[in-house]
Amino acid sequence: MKRGNKTAKQKRSVGDSSAGVDASLTEAILSSISDGVFTVDHQWRITSFNRAAERITGVSCQEALGRSCAEVFRSSLCGAQCALRETLTNGEPIVGRAAYIITATGERIPISISTAVLRNQAGVLLGGAEVFRDLSEFEALKKFGLRGAGEDSLSPQMQRVMDIVPTVAACNSTVLICGETGTGKERLARQIHQLSERAQGPFVAVNCGALPDTLLESELFGYKAGAFTGATRDKPGRFALARGGTLFLDEIGETSPALQVRVLRVLQERVFEPLGAVQSEKADVRVIVATHRDLLTRIREGTFREDLYYRVNVVRIELPPLRHRREDIPLLVDHFIGRFNTLMNGSVKGCSADVSAMLLAHHWPGNIRELENIVERAFVLCARTGWIEVAHLPEELVSQRKTVIDGEGAWKQQRKTSERATICEALRHCTTCAEAAQRLGIHKTTLYRRMNTLGLTRQDASAVDSAPSRPFPR
């Protein structure tokens, strides 16, 4: 009998040890991920709370354990709209539901929520689990000029981009970002990285067009001591430095076909060899590439490998130039002014009406980068106080619009006439205002606002004779 008891005790000891190892492993895994995770029991008391949850909410694990999840998490979905309660009721998981939480310091943080039922190995219901992702950086990207002026929604062109960013960030596929110089390709790449599971790893950017081919090869793959004259010690390349994170290869279209072969091998085999090495190293990186070139044209010219094109063109994101989303210009300007006020301790309130008209009418060949430079120049010249006036703008910008005068000047009248004709034409060819707005490439709220400003109704539009039209600043 004693022997039997001893055996039972031994079994319990082994079981306890195994459970302890499993618990430690689970805790280590949960602590290593960048998303917040917590679990609750049947009484909605928190039973686990990982490090990311502590960081995002500002509540420590010791404070959270044993308390009601609504008391600790303080989400906009707590109560009747509780996502976790919905999952535990119908057994269906929820993925990526938008919400916000109030942190311990009273800060409002936008998040996305995913939920699941929590069961043990025997299938017994233990409670629920919730994963939440901090979208503060994602919202900051919107505030960088991706919202339409005076509206809650994005401009249609950027809405299509922003709709897929969280989904793209969640996978590990190679991304190709296309867009003109200055459209924010690196900023978008950083955002994808920050929303991904690799957010805790490094983000390493390389401008492939800024380095000679031989130097770029050693920068990307590194080299071993003795690989060439002057190589006195090992130097890790960017693929090694980005291990566990994201490598951003800007202007991939500027690389030579010889280097493209090596990049292709890394993407295919997930290994690379530093110069002078005898063994391959694992490339544990997510690769995002960008270009302002038309790669299909480069392929026809024989300067870009077709096989590399299809390897990098897994997920393709097109960033529209600023002239195609003029609705975003006013908020971009506000964003830059706010940032420069903070950096330079200024108190600039905004731009005059004439300045706003000039900025909306400009072609913007340099895109967002050009706009930022113009706003910074004007910010400095206006002595960091008051309002930005026409006198603070570059001469080349002002000279393009010499016809701009106070009040209803000739240029403003011409712009208004053209705008009215364009809207009328769209309304006559469409059955609804929403359809007309889509035809014009603007949000329907913008169309309503423009019609109200012009004193235009649908009946007026149907009675107006057709007139030559052209795109107008939005």
* Interval 419-446: pLDDT, tens: 777 888 788 878 888 888 887 878 888 8
Could you tell me the CA-to-CA distances from 220 to 209, 254, 280, 311, 388 in Å, in that order? 13, 15, 14, 18, 44
Which of the residues in the chain have pLDDT under 70? 1-32, 76, 80, 137-154, 400-414, 458-474
> Looking up tokens 């502590």, which residue turns up?
54
pLDDT at 74: 79
pLDDT at 294: 94
The pTM is what? 0.57
pLDDT at 287: 96
pLDDT at 278: 78
pLDDT at 462: 54
Residue 159, exposed/middle/buried by CB under 10 A (0-12, 13-18, 19+)?
middle
Could you tell me the CA-to-CA distances from 6 to 11, 15, 18, 230, 361 in Å, in that order? 9, 14, 18, 69, 87
pLDDT at 245: 94
pLDDT at 149: 36
